[in-house]
Structure 1
Amino acid sequence: MTTTILRAADRIATPWKNGGGVTREIAVWPPEAGLDDFDWRISMAEVREAGAFSLFPDVDRCLTVIEGCLRLTFDDDTSVSLDAQSEPWAFPGDRTCHGQPLDGPVLDLNVMSRRGQFRSQVKRVSDTMWRPTGVASLLIALAPLTIVDDRASGGIRLVPLDAWLCHDPATPIDLAINGPALGIDILAL
């Protein structure tokens, strides 16, 4: 098993072409893949203004709001409002979607996976045991927290929005988490 700590402070902000926000990439596979050739990609976005989401053919998305409230309106006029307590929302990346921040800027987590090759599972976890199950698994801290497993003395400390990444766990491990986080598993099909 290979693990890496991905510090929030090290992420580079990429402004959107429409000026409505910025995106910070957390992890991508394969490494150095771009927006057209990734197998899976995890990023955070600051949504400051209303606008259309970029289309990603043959990609499935899962969006989780971390801060603020965001209304998503789809091409068939259905809409959903998501906030920091909402469950992650999955939808096809090639479906037309418009985002509208409600009452100020929004911070969200966006997990994208290449349809037919990978799928993602995203869930909110807190003060619990968590077992990574994917070919890649990430834990993103929503508050200061410590991750403890039976191989690490003292645990791994994360500040808000830091991520712990695990690739190809050879043997299942259980992690004790002492705070709120987002658990993400990328599963091969």
Structure 2
Amino acid sequence: MRILRAAGYRVMPWKNGGGTTTEIAVSPHSAGLDDFDWRVSMARVETSGPFSSFAGIDRTLSVLEGDGIVLDIAGRPPVRLAAASAPLAFPGDVPTSAALINGPITDLNVMTRRGRMTHKVERRPLSGEIRLRPNADTTLILAVDAGVTLFTHDGSDLGPLDALILDRDSPELRLQPKGQCLLFVIELHRVAANH
């Protein structure tokens, strides 16, 4: 179990130079945009426009803050994505553009390299204690709004936008929200090699 504090996240420019991304976690550690297996980040989107293209990448987008965006993904009808919407999965290498609905947003972006990793993102509003048993190779939990108390041997807690990384062997986790809280539970699975 590893806790990542929001104050320690790395801020870097977008691939297309149109804004900045706050990187929560990446694997392998310190991988760049061209050689990661998976990457979880947040971005502040200030203007409408095209998304960066990521060859061979699958991505899932969620809105954390703001009124939302309308995504225009090639080959699909436009999709309206707001803070209450379910996370939206789409290929990172098809032409995609976003139109802001009413001012800037902050989004959560999960990316995995096709053929190496797959991922699933679950949006879970929390009003009481829950138990989580990790069953992915890596599970990342992001606390939004209020923080959460972790019932662990050292009594740690997660503040707003802090993250927790668990591996498959981690024990079942008990979490108690500090007020109304939203969790994103991100499961990252390694693709079995073909023999």
Identify whether the pair has TM-score above 0.5, normalized to the shorter chain.
yes
Ranges in structure 2 where 5+ consecutive residues have no aligned partner: none
One-letter amino acid of the structure 1 residue matched with residue 85 of structure 2: S
Residue number in structure 2 paired with 1:47 = 45
Q: 1:28 and 1:19 mapped to 2: Cα distance?
A: 20
Aligned residue identity for 1:102: I
Which piece of structure 1 moves more, 134-143 or 36-45? 134-143
Distance 2:117 2:16 in 1: 30
Q: Percent same amino acid at aligned positions?
A: 42
Task: Indicate whether 1:182 and 2:184 are aligned.
Answer: yes
In structure 1, the partner of 2:101 is 102
Question: SS of the residue aligned with 1:170?
Answer: coil
Per the alignment, residue 71 of structure 1 pairs with 70
- Report the secondary structure of 2:175's partner residue: strand
1:175 Cα deviation after fit: 2.8
The structural deviation recorded for 1:17 is 6.3
Name 1:163's counterpart in structure 2: 163
- CA distance 1:153–1:10, change in 2 (3 Å): closer
Q: Determine the C-alpha separation between the residues in 1 that align with 2:169 and 2:9.
A: 28
The alignment's TM-score, normalised by the length of structure 2, stands at: 0.86
- Shift of the alpha carbon at 1:53? 0.8
Mapped partners of 1:134, 1:104: distance in 2? 36
* Deviant stretches of 4+, over 6 Å: none
CA RMSD in angstroms comes to 1.8
- The within-5 A match list for 1:110-129 is 110-125=109-124, 126=126, 127=128, 128-129=130-131
Number of matched pairs: 184
**Mapped partners of 1:171, 1:20: distance in 2:** 38
Distance across 1 between alignment mates of 2:133 and 2:106: 26
- 1:37-94 Cα deviation digits (max 9, x unpaired): 1111111000000111111111110111111201110223621011110000000111
Please give the secondary structure, in 1, of the residue aligned with 2:145: coil
The structure with more strand, counted as a fraction of residues: 1
